[in-house]
Structures are given as structure tokens and as C-alpha cells.
Amino acid sequence: MFEDISPNFEWNPVDANIAKRLIDLEETPEAIQYFSRVCHKLTDYAYWFLLSTLWVSYTGFTDINLWKKLFSEKRPYRLTSIMKPSELKAFQNLPKRITIYRAHRPNETDWIAYTLDFDIAKRFARERQVNIITEYRIKKADVTALFLRRGENEIIALDKSKIQFIKEYKIED
């Protein structure tokens, strides 16, 4: 049960109290708002771990610019704390240039999440009722994190200017 925890973890009462409150707010837009108000009190590990947990548990109907700001924080231990050890290992095994996909929502203008898996992009296309999947390429050095927790093989990339458009696929129902 405890084998996939960052070596940076150390119990801290302030972190524990903030985490407890975040659990109460989990799966609501208030969780990330609360996090943004109190994150300055967190240890570096707790900051990254709780931010990634919030992203994985709930990203709907929240301000993408707030997520970008929080993911862009200049704190130590980002890679070893934002990703679980198993995710970090998978990330380290990715090639230097990565192919990623996104099924864009209608009229979408800003985003930070992609998938490594074309079939997952197809699932999102069906959910979003769109028939186009876009393929991109990105350097691993420009990736913020890889999350495997939702089974989405999710890549977080904050700067769209670092991402190269490859092509679009029209999918049929």
C-alpha cells in the first residue's frame, strides 16, 4: 500500500491539516481555490503532491490560468513529488520527443492536458461529442508531469508554444 510514495514525504502537521480540509472539498471547484489560498504554508512535497492529487481528482469547471500558475511554481522536488514513483519511472522511460493527443472541446482555446494514448483520445472525443483528434509532438523536457492515476496516460504541458502540431484525425462513430 505504501510502496508508491515519494521519498520526499515527511509527515507535517500543517500539511496534514490542509490535506484534511482538501479532502472535505474534494471533487469541487472550491478545493483548488482553497489550495491556492493556503499553499504558501505547505512543505514543497505537500505542495506538489496535493496539487497533483487535486488535478487528478477534479479538473472540471476551474480556471485553467490558476492551474497554470500553480503548476508553474518554482519549488524544489517537483518531479519527485508531483508524480508517484511509478509515474516518475514511466516518465523517465519516455523518449526525448513524445507523441501526444487531444480531443479538443468545441471552441476550446486553452488547455494543458494531453494523452499518450490515441484510444483514450478517441474516448474523450466521444464524451465531448467531437470527431477530431489532434496529434502533437513535445520534447520530454517541456512536460510538467505524467499522471497514470486515472488510466488516461495524461501529460501536463503548460506552454503550447513548445508543442508541435502534427496532424488531425477525423474519427467515425
pLDDT digits (tens, 9 = 90+) for 24-50: 998 888 999 999 999 999 999 999 999
Contacts of 91 (CB under 8 A, 6+ apart): 79, 83, 140, 143, 145, 146
Residue 61, phi-psi category: left (phi > 0), alpha (psi -120 to 50), beta (remainder): left
User: Do 157 and 143 meet the contact criterion of CB atoms below 8 Å apart?
Assistant: yes
Each residue's pLDDT tens digit, 114-171: 999 999 999 999 999 999 999 999 999 999 999 999 999 999 999 999 999 999 999 9
Backbone angles phi, psi at 70, to 5 degrees: -70, -40
| Alpha carbon of residue 113 to chain centroid | 6
Instruction: Quote the pLDDT of residue 60.
Output: 72
Each residue's pLDDT tens digit, 75-129: 999 999 999 999 999 999 999 999 999 999 999 999 999 999 999 999 999 999 9
Instruction: Compute the distance between CA of residue 99 and CA of residue 133 in angstroms, rounded to an integer.
Output: 13
Total-model pTM:
0.94
Instruction: Quote the pLDDT of residue 13.
Output: 98
Residue linked to cell 476551474: 62
Q: Are strands 132-139 and 163-170 parallel, antiparallel or unpaired?
A: antiparallel
Instruction: Quote the pLDDT of residue 172.
Output: 84
Instruction: Quote the pLDDT of residue 119.
Output: 97
